[in-house]
Amino acid sequence: MLDSAGSCKLPVAGQWIEDLDNMPVIDKYSGKVIGTVPVVGRETLERAVVGAREAFAAYRAMPAHRRASILARAVQILDRRKEELAELICREAGKAWKYSVGEVSRAMETFQFSAEEAKRIHGETVPMDASPTGEGRLGFYLRTPVGVVAAITPFNFPLNLVAHKVGPALAAGNCVVLKPASTTPLTAIRLAEVLEEAGLPPGVFSIVVGPGDTVGDWLVTHPGVAKVSFTGSPPVGEAIIRRAGLKKVTLELGNNSGTIIEPDADLDDAVPRCVMSAFANSGQVCISLQRLYVHREIAAELTSRLVDSTARLVVGNPLDRDCDVGPMIVESEAVRAELWVREAVAEGARVLIGGRREGAVFYPTVLADVRPEMKVMCIEAFAPLVSIYEYERFEDAVRMVEESPYGLQAGIYTRDMRKALYAVDQINAGGIMINDTSIFRVDHMPYGGNKMSGLGREGVRFALEEMTNLKMVVIKP
Ligand code: NAP
């Protein structure tokens, strides 16, 4: 809720509130202030969690078809407010217009899937007489909501990654306290308006804004929270799981995604897809293409076509309808990307295009002659830069994709099914995309990482399962 001076209120325990401190939210391209939001203190956080617990008593009893109707109405309202929300995402996240519109469409799908899944929450019977001790008893389990879900979200998808937590949580009958990224809280606040208009009862969804290491930590450690659902960087994820105590925890973390291109790949398909995968949202996507392994036979052709396509990208103001690449979230991130590229060059890499920066805008960058131990290869870059590595043996490329501390998604372009299945078998990741890059995702598939990329899965049905408890019932007649 925004007043004429651009200051927002926060939905906390069924009321729109102000707090003692406020912080500005910046347009990431122009640097202008686009609104201010309250930074919550401990008392307000307490109100949010207690309010959610109180609201839970009634919300968990709401019939599934009514929860589904609220979520379906939210889809219609999101559709009506699509342009306004897309513009807000453009401004507060610096995401190019076409990807911002795409994000609103995806959030609509995420809520639609949530509405549908709300009607499919069920357990199953257990054959009790499989054990002599169970003879004569009837057994079945139910899925019940956990209570209060603390959702903590990153800046790079300020609507759809919030939707991936809020949609399934509400579908299952849980209440939610959300802490959005401090750089992008405004979109989440609009979502609260949408859900209120859709008929969500007061107190079921609250938002707290403030620094992760205070407000986020209070939420993670609060005894009234039953589950923490976090999306963000691996170091913060690790800190959260240590601090959370006896709670359910889901962690959706980062990746240094690799994709392999075999000589039989369709380059007309692969090249534009690789360009989009490396540079959409300025490379700030957890499954952005970062390491591109290309077979020696086609390396020259693929590299030249990739560089030509990269040169045609429109870089600049994300609000321009033809923009491909906007600014990074803050200038310090663009400075970091620039330093990583300089360091790689000092270690022998070549910049084929890009490598330069204007303020927070880092130009799409393609590197060659890289080595596995360079930062641009072995640590998540989260920046518009992709490194090309030539290989001769397919097995070596698969091994290099796998030799990563992360394990979120990977891609392989080949028409040879044996090779595709070899990669599926060898790479320890949450998802393997055949004839696509690491970036492919639809919002109902199971999605999440292994190794340092996280714990648990999202994708509406799978998130919902992790936001419910199993309750076993055994009847002795
Ligand atoms: P981040 O710095 O880890 O922040 C994510 C959220 O955690 C923010 O709301 C942040 O608050 C909060 N936070 C920070 N410290 C905290 C603490 N000690 N306790 C509780 N909360 C805390 O991540 P980001 O820079 O926003 O996002 C980029 C990262 O997210 C990348 O690593 C990317 O790969 C990952 N990501 C993963 C997925 C996935 O689905 N696997 C999707 C998108 C992004 P503040 O904003 O106030 O610092």
Does residue 178's CB lie within 6 angstroms of at least one atom of ligand 1? no
Q: Looking up tokens 């859900």, which residue turns up?
A: 195
Sign of CA dihedral 457, 459, 462, 464: positive
CA distances from 267 to 156, 264, 274, 332 (A): 29, 9, 10, 35
Q: How remote is the CA of residue 156 from the centroid of ligand 1, in Å? A: 9
Report the distance separating Cα 404 and Cα 377, nearest Å: 9
Does residue 252's CB lie within 6 angstroms of at least one atom of ligand 1? yes
Does residue 286's CB lie within 6 angstroms of at least one atom of ligand 1? yes
pLDDT-derived band of residue 19, with 50, 70 and 90 as boundaries? Answer: confident
Q: Which residues are catalytic?
A: 252, 286
Q: Give the position, in ligand 1's atom list, of the atom nearest the Cα of 157.
A: 43
Which DSSP symbol is given to 428? -
Q: Give the position, in ligand 1's atom list, of the atom nearest the Cα of 448.
A: 41
pLDDT in tens, 234-293: 999 999 999 999 999 999 999 999 999 999 999 999 999 999 999 999 999 999 999 999
CA distances from 383 to 52, 325, 365 (A): 37, 11, 9
Report the distance separating Cα 94 and Cα 44, nearest Å: 30
pLDDT at position 363 is 98
* Residue nearest atom 10 of ligand 1, based on CA coordinates: 212
pLDDT of residue 4 exceeding 70: no
22, β-bridge pairs? 38
For residues 341-346, average pLDDT:
98
Q: What's the whole-number average pLDDT of the chain? A: 97
Q: Where are the beta strands (DSSP E) in 53-211?
A: 125-126, 138-145, 148-152, 175-179, 205-207
Sign of CA dihedral 81, 157, 119, 445: positive
Q: How remote is the CA of residue 154 from the centroid of ligand 1, in Å? A: 4
Q: Measured in whole angstroms, how far is the alpha carbon of residue 435 from the centre of its chain?
A: 23
Does residue 23's CB lie within 6 angstroms of at least one atom of ligand 1? no
pLDDT in tens, 129-169: 999 999 999 999 999 999 999 999 999 999 999 999 999 99
149, β-bridge pairs? 176, 227
Q: Which residue ranges make up each domain of the chain?
A: 10-253+453-475, 258-442
* Residue nearest atom 26 of ligand 1, based on CA coordinates: 154
150, β-bridge pairs? 177, 228
pLDDT of residue 2 exceeding 60: no
- Its pTM surpasses 0.85: yes
Does residue 231's CB lie within 6 angstroms of at least one atom of ligand 1? yes
Please provide the CATH number assigned to the domain covering 10-253+453-475.
3.40.605.10
Do the bridges between strand 175-179 and strand 10-12 make them parallel or antiparallel, or are there none, so unpaired?
unpaired
Q: How remote is the CA of residue 229 from the centroid of ligand 1, in Å? A: 11
Does residue 184's CB lie within 6 angstroms of at least one atom of ligand 1? no
Among residues 394, 161, 400, which one has the least CA distance to residue 297? 394
Domain 258-442, architecture per CATH: 3-Layer(aba) Sandwich (3.40)
Do the bridges between strand 406-407 and strand 365-368 make them parallel or antiparallel, or are there none, so unpaired?
unpaired
pLDDT of residue 1 exceeding 80: no
454, β-bridge pairs? 252
Q: How remote is the CA of residue 191 from the centroid of ligand 1, in Å? A: 19
Pocket probe mutation, ligand 1, options 183, 225, 231, max atoms within 8 Å of Cβ = 231
